[in-house]
Structure 1
Amino acid sequence: MPPLRELVIEGDFYTMGVQHGQAYADDIRELTAERIQLCTETAWTGRELTRQQVLDLAAECIPHNDAYAPELMQELRGIAHATKLSLEEVLITNGFTDFVDTIYNANALPVHQPAYSHTDCTTFMVSGRTTIEGHSFIGQTWDMHATATPFVILLRGKPNNAPNFLTLTVAGCIGMIGMNDAGIAVGINNLMGADGKPGVMWNLVIRKILMQTNIQDALACIIDAELAGGHNYVLMDADGNGYGIEAMSSVKRVQPLKAEQYAHANRCLYPQTSAVERDLDDSTVDDSDIRRSRALELLTRRPITPDILKSITADRSDGVYSICSMSEPPFYSETCGAAIMRPATREFWAVWGLPNKNAYEAFRL
């Protein structure tokens, strides 16, 4: 892949959205069209909806997001204005995996069990006790349908009256994996909820977290959100305090980082959240469990360094169940990028595309 595209956006939130939309208008319109089409397909959502039904359901989500993060919704409106898309379309592009959960649980039981269930992000955290410098790390692979890879970008945000931030994301999406200049860092991996509902999209949660200056306020951004769908959030501050949060639409489970290493993949680990998870087939369970186990094994190396963490994101030890996921039938999901962050030093390493075939680049706040 070529060097990761970096876009600087600054000013008030609406202006930042306009800047983002103007810079990548064609990309945003292309990705939006694809994601709305996927939302109409039973393979992704279990329900066969028309395009208008999908947009109508997105419209039900708008008041929840406006109430949760009005500034960030202005940013989405700026993107919509610059790209000549509707706010509903831009919201779907941002919250796609949450919105899939919303559709899955809409009105009645799904007509079919969705065929697509392999969304293979692997997240991890390590405490400062594992490093020579005493600084903790947080990172992940970001896996999605392989056609999302060309849209990966890095946003460097300089908002008025809020911390500056970096986020690895895709064109049109206001944030996915990020860190701010207060040393608050956050990542995610998808969970497949059966309890989705019109609600707050996960990308607004990410960016609201990046507006905070302490980890308790950042944690509250997750706990207080009426979520549209399920994700596991990993959260860390500059002092090495960390949390893993399985956050479903109807229930959340918070786990403080106590061990020297933590890893998570794509299924719930606790009874409260498992109770509202979709039924997962054996292959999906194996995929998640094998990646998580491999990550935990590799995280036992000492001392942990950025290069070790980069190698973990590139690991292909387990074939189709590897941490670094290759686009293969029948799901054609792949690792579209990855990020590693050291909040204490505000260092951010990111790679565009497969980590086993592309080089990380270094950024800093």
Structure 2
Amino acid sequence: MEFTRFDHDQASDAEFDEVARFLASMDAADRPGWSSRSATALADFLKNRQSFGYDVSLWLGSEASGGAERLTASCWLNLALSPENRQTVLVEIRVRPDLRRRGIASDFLRALTPMIRVAERDHVIGSTTSHGPGELWGASVGMKPTLRYVRQVLRLGDADQSLWDRPVPDGYRFEDWTDRTPDRLVASYAVALQAMDDAVSGDLQWSQPRWTPERVRETEERLAATGNAARVVAAVDEASGEVAGLTQIAVSATRPEVVEQLDTSVRREHRGRGLGLAMKAAQLRAIAERPGLERVKTDTADLVHMAAINRALGFQDESEDVYIEADLAEIEAALATDS
């Protein structure tokens, strides 16, 4: 069994097609109905791998079979770039369903640990299906569950759009933009982003960014340079003229069929007035007009409040997942014992 980094700069179209089909086959097995990346979208994602605050790489497992190489496993390896999480790497190892429970995932992780050391990361976070085989495997390599969350999807073809008819709460107006926050709002927009500090985080060792107007601009410029976009709906307090809350979606230039819900946050002093539901409904009314759009994806660890808001807008639960994590030294010790 060999584990190598997928060289997207040198890969041919045929190789991208093969890898995209392989990843889609595992999505079909583990996340039926989930939207997989096409070969073109995969190439774009890897080309712009630092768009969303991570240095992303794709690693593949393969073995000889009948005189040819066949793919057996994959790993997304994401190095966090934010100063608050520079010690952390995110990993998602997946093995072909017919090859599971043979130690491939452990061998894969063992092969990656030297590279993680070289990258000067000492904390590892993974994700897998909650209470499933992946969580049990995580325990065998020293990783503990720290935060459970639900993946949800809205299929526009089946959506009841009347669920999006939500009024703007009294005392607020909604503004929306793509890519660049208006200068007059950027300072209070940064404050509203910081309200994510209150998001449900369980025992997850992950820190929210320290948002400033300058950091907002840096993030916007990095995303715009990739050809992708972030669309924002913000609730503005009429009395103060400041952003009270916001909801964001990511729009990919090469995946017109799907958009991904990012953060939704409301400043503490404005909570309890229905802003979250109303902002997300306004966002859906706007993006539903996008040509070719089929799905909106999201996930949330707020299994009570935010998950219920999403369901009220027509989202359906796709899977219940969990973050598992450990210090790299703990993983190395567990793998040494297992070898």
Query: Is TM more than 0.5 here?
Result: no
TM normalised by structure 1 equals 0.30
Identify, as 1 or 2, the structure richer in strand. 2
Which of 1 and 2 has greater Rg?
2
TM normalised by structure 2 equals 0.31
